[in-house]
Amino acid sequence: MERISGPYKGYYIAAYTVEADNTFVGYAKVCLNEPTSVWSSTSVERLTSAAGFRSELEAMAAAEHKARRAIADLSPDWDSTGPGGLDG
């Protein structure tokens, strides 16, 4: 499953899920520009949800939630060119 959403506070989220041992993990990329694909997006940060979700939808929601929370926690003077600005 994959989905592009946004903008959220000016950022886009390119999220996708991967099956791992009969459960799912969600991944999210935070992008400055709207990506055309989750696979070819240029991200400023990559985030992973916790492993072990029973459905793709749960894993997707968790990854997107983590990305939105990281974006919401940014300070107004955050420099998007610096590494690791959205760790969380």
DSSP SS3 for 23: strand
d(CA 5, CA 30): 10
Number of domains in the chain: 1
Quick check: is 29 in a domain?
yes
**pLDDT tens for each residue of 17-70:** 999 889 999 999 999 999 999 998 887 888 888 778 999 999 999 999 999 999
Range of the domain at 21: 2-72
Quick check: is 15 in a domain?
yes
DSSP SS3 for 8: strand
pTM for the full model? 0.80
Question: What residue type is 3 in one-letter code?
Answer: R
d(CA 61, CA 76): 26
